[in-house]
Amino acid sequence: MKKLGFGLMRLPLLDKADAASVDVEQVKRMVDLFLERGFTYFDTAWMYCGFNSENTAKTALVDRYPREAYTLATKLHSGFFNSLEDRDKVFDEQREKTGVEYFDYYLLHGISESSYGKYEEFDCFNWLREKKSQGLVKHIGFSFHDNAELLDKILTAHPDMEFVQLQINYLDWESPWIQSRKCYETAVKHGVPVIVMEPVKGGTLASVPQRVDKLFKDYDPEMSVPSWAVRFAASLDNVMMVLSGMSNVEQLMDNVSYMEDFKPFGEQEKELVRKAADMINEATAVPCTGCSYCTDGCPAKIAIPQYFSLYNEDMREAEDKGWTANQTNYKQLAGKFGKAGDCIGCGQCESICPQHLPIIKHLQDVSAHYDR
């Protein structure tokens, strides 16, 4: 397989306020272009796109192409089962939603310190092995959001896991929270192939500070800004696939243009992204990837990732600029969702955040900036 995978998490929407309103016709066109260029890997999950991603995979991909033409991955998340029977209920509904007889790759979703115990309690690793022995899954593994020490513990306990999906990008490579490098090196130590998620960090590495943009353009004016992020991840040994959540045709065509005949980074390019990471870290107030895990179940119905995105943009503006369009954008969102200041501090968002962000504190900062 070519190293670029189509992440079906940030699909184009007909209504930006409705995560389930997928623009299926645009997705069909994107799927067609992706397959025409020789790429075959598609990654979805139970709750992506307001629980509509797997249905979209059926409509745009499965119903329109022979089974051997594509590779499909999906996942079991710990938030959606509370019994042994629930695991099969979700799995069977996923087969129905996607329309496939089997999944090429199946993952236990987003393992962290808070969820690992539940996966063990409900014997999910053996459950995965059973699905593989039954021919319902071809390859078994898990996605992971925690530290390298826990990853080492899991891979030691379950040496038959065939791959691990890790958050790897040049901004998080040396992060003490995400530990991209340390987790990657742990997978290498265990001889487990890596699938990369969040190579562009939810769009953060597609829209970089001006001086970072200049750094890249001075080196190669033909390469797009996000291409540096995807190619960084794909250049790592032991990486078998890099997932990119593509939201429109233009993003897809950019990605396939440089991944169709992929050339790994040289030393000079590695040094450039190290410099870029330092510059971006200086300018990012809230390192949110926009995954939206935090919004499901929020009692105040706060549009957390959207607010963080607006806040980050404003924090990059000159201090003396005054009013920005994001103040209007915030008010429009707050008309549909709870304001940042409506947070009651329950902490459910922080318990599920893959980035381990102090969301409550950040919402207070957002509220101080906009709720005036």
Q: What is the pLDDT of residues 230-240, one digit of tens each?
A: 999 999 999 99
Rounded to an integer, the average pLDDT of 22-31 is 98
Rounded to an integer, the average pLDDT of 251-277 is 96
Query: Which of 133-137, 174-178, 314-318, 347-351 shows the lowest per-residue confidence on average (mean pLDDT)?
Result: 314-318
Residue 317: pLDDT band by 50, 70, 90 thresholds? low
Nearest to 280 by CA among 355, 359, 218, 226: 226
Identify whether the C-beta of residue 194 lies closer than 8 Å to the C-beta of residue 166.
yes
Residue 321: the pLDDT is 52
Residue 324: the pLDDT is 67
Residue 261: the pLDDT is 95
Rounded to an integer, the average pLDDT of 4-12 is 96
Residue 285: the pLDDT is 85
Rounded to an integer, the average pLDDT of 184-212 is 93
The pLDDT tens digits for 282-304 are: 777 898 988 999 998 999 999 99
Residue 322: pLDDT band by 50, 70, 90 thresholds? low
Residue 283: the pLDDT is 73
Rounded to an integer, the average pLDDT of 183-204 is 95
Q: Where are the alpha helices (DSSP H) in the chain?
A: 24-36, 48-51, 53-57, 84-98, 113-121, 124-133, 148-157, 180-189, 210-219, 225-234, 249-259, 267-283, 304-315, 325-334, 348-352, 359-370
Rounded to an integer, the average pLDDT of 151-174 is 96
- Taking the whole predicted model, whether its pTM rises above 0.75 is answered as yes
Q: How many C-beta atoms surround the C-beta of residue 211 within 10 A? A: 13
Residue 312: the pLDDT is 82
